[in-house]
Amino acid sequence: MGNLNDDDPYLWLEDVSGEAALAWVAERNAETAGAVTEGEAFGALKARLREVLDASDRIPYTVRRGEHLYNFWRDADHLRGVWRRTTLERYRQDAPEWEVLLDVDALAAAEGEKWVWDGARVRRPAYDRALVRLSRDGGDAVVVREFDLGTREFVDDGFRLPEAKTRIGWVDDDTVFVGTDLGPGSLTDSGYPRTVRRWRRGTPVQDATLVYEADPADVAAWGYRDTTPGFEREFVGRSLDFFHSETYLLRPDGTRVRIDVPDDASAYAHRQYLIVTLKSAWLGQPTGSLLAFDFDAFLAGDRTPDVLFTPDPRTALAGHTWTRNHLLLETMRDVSAHIEVLTPVPDGGGWTREPLVGVPALSAVSVVDTDPDVSDEYFLDVSGFLQPSTLHHGRIGGGSEVLKQAPHHFDPTGLTVDQHFATSRDGTRVPYFVIGPDRTTAPGPGPTLLYGYGGFEVSLTPFYGGVTGRAWLERGGTHVIANIRGGGEYGPDWHQAALRAERPRAFEDFAAVAEDLVARGITTPAMLGAKGGSNGGLLMGAMLTRHPELFGAIVAQVPLLDMTRFHKLLAGASWIAEYGDPDDEADRPHLLDVSPYHRLAADRDYPPVLLMTSTRDDRVHPGHARKTAARLRELGHRVLFHENTGGGHAGAGDNEQAAHNSALVHTYLWQQLTGGGAGAQAGAAAPTIPGPLTATPTAAPAAPSGTGS
């Protein structure tokens, strides 16, 4: 098979900031604005969505660092946001008093940069300094600056790094582990750090001592120091691909000891324990199990685990969080969450378990934060599709209190939530949630928006969406969440069922849900829209090219669409384990088959489609959406395109951009599914186009989706 891209006339659109490409983007943006955003209705909706995003009465979620609770906050007065902190006593108040540490708007104005907050690593145990990460306009690449929490200023002679996809963390007061772009050979083929170095304060980063080095074909190298008092340890490792990694204990003499678990398992040390989550069967325990070992005994060869969780066909591990003396175990049963308290019995007596006291019997419960070094404190968020969040604070074995209650941002009167199961092509039962008008009082089909993702073991769990409520539900629309294979709703097996050449199983699941919605009378194909982003954008491309008859309109945001070149663009090489390798003769046929860009044809009747991306997305290349829009226009199909100049992979760097994008999506879909406005522009009159231009420790970097911290 020859080069699949030799005859691609739109490669020039992969030149992210090329003059011709940006001129083309400007033309398409103007078309989309004219078709969707003109008129009072769009402006009114955008203003109402901005109210939700800026609302001063939403819950300011925090993380504890010592005596303070830290929060990053955006509102109408702080477009780019403020990093701030308070105490628990003050946080209990209706209007807490906050100490502002860093005003990102003021910093952006002073430096003439569109800074976007990307988080901070606070130094333990003094909690006096932080390594602040700032992104230019929302990209994954960041600059790093040391920040003094006492003076609330950057440290002039502190740790500083220029823009790169850096990984950095504290070792001690004057040392960090760092992986960054140091020139040729310092990055993997995926564009992430290939080395881990020990960098001393006051020395050039180029002179930092090499501690560990991954192979160029690996995804990334990483290192971190566990600062838990009495259990201080250092670890390094490498991500072989997105789902396989190796972890090593780094001894004081510089030698390494492999943590000998399967390379598809996740493993970490916590105090005297080694905790292992299985992605394949091991030691007689099935895929999806959670195991605990005595750390020292494990290194000495003991492989006797305490089994903390074993899945069943309907129940999967959703997560776990430590307090000082307990482990909070989160599980999902048919995508409904449950929490148990696991407590180790002294002297190897196993573990006890009991439900977390005081948790309401609701479908969306998650542990927000704990303080594992000090106490059995926890912060717990309880919500639902129609129920705004309630933030609880408690201590295991003690009482709990309601700290914060979010307000309703839309009227839930007459709305219901139901869970149904569709039958996929191979007989698999696929769950999905329906949020919309009560079918007993409002029978008959109506405009419906179906959302899905289906990859990277990402689970779509119940959540309260004020923006979706105002933009869609209040107008009489129905919103549907499809829990298709490729996700993690039923554990690793659910993900692996749609891996690589099996990716069409996810597409079949989504199509089955669409068909089930029509069969139940909830909607019709003409009134059914679909939306997805990133990997979910690939799903939308598949629906467009494989099942166009099922949908009245489709929206794909920051999508992957050219599956023969994704590995050559930005972070794409890191996703080969999910999709396959286009350079491998064994994988190329199935990748070409699932590539929406290559399946487009002139003689198919596609529903109208809106493609959205960001110039500053340095994770999923904007060329995917650009080229597909150009190809659809060439073939005469109905397509609109919008590219935000900033915002990174999230598509928006602030609430103004986020409100605009959401209003654009929902206005467009309402137009198409109800006939309530101008339609998409046909591509038959495409302009003349120039020819090609020359041109915390984690086991793997972020998947295509996700907005970062």
| Alpha helices for 67-113 (secondary structure H) | 88-91, 104-111
Q: How many residues does the chain have?
A: 709
The single residue listed with the structure tokens 């008008």 is 437
- Active site includes 270? no
In whole angstroms, give the CA distance from residue 201 to residue 208.
10
Look up residue 557 and give its two tokens. Answer: 């945001």
Find all residues with CB under 8 Å of 473, minimum gap 6, and list them: 410, 415, 435, 436, 479
Task: Identify the CA nearest to 445 among candidates 258, 674, 649, 617.
Answer: 674
Amino acid identity at 637:
H
End-to-end CA distance of the chain: 42
Q: Which of the following is catalytic: 534, 574, 595, 662? A: 534
Find all residues with CB under 8 Å of 184, minimum gap 6, and list them: none
Find all residues with CB under 8 Å of 218, minimum gap 6, and list them: 188, 194, 238, 239, 240, 241
The DSSP element (H or E) to which 133 belongs, if any, is strand 129-136
The secondary structure of the chain in percent helix, strand, coil, rounded to multiples of 5, reads 25, 35, 45
In whole angstroms, give the CA distance from residue 443 to residue 426.
31
E strands in 173-322: 175-179, 195-200, 209-213, 220-226, 233-239, 245-250, 256-258, 266-270, 273-277, 290-294, 306-309, 315-322
In whole angstroms, give the CA distance from residue 360 to residue 316.
20
Q: Which of the following is catalytic: 624, 642, 649, 660? A: 649
- Report how far apart, in Å, the C-alpha atoms of 513 and of each of 120, 381, 428, 490 are: 41, 29, 12, 17
Provide the β-strand partners of residue 71: 84
- Active site includes 244? no
In whole angstroms, give the CA distance from residue 273 to residue 485.
32
Report CA Rg, the chain: 25
Count CB neighbours of 43 within 10 A: 12
In whole angstroms, give the CA distance from residue 137 to residue 16.
15
Look up residue 162 and give its two tokens. Answer: 């220029």
Provide the β-strand partners of residue 322: 327
The DSSP element (H or E) to which 516 belongs, if any, is helix 504-519
- Report how far apart, in Å, the C-alpha atoms of 614 and of each of 134, 166, 367, 652 are: 18, 21, 32, 8
DSSP state of 570: G
Active site residues: 534, 649
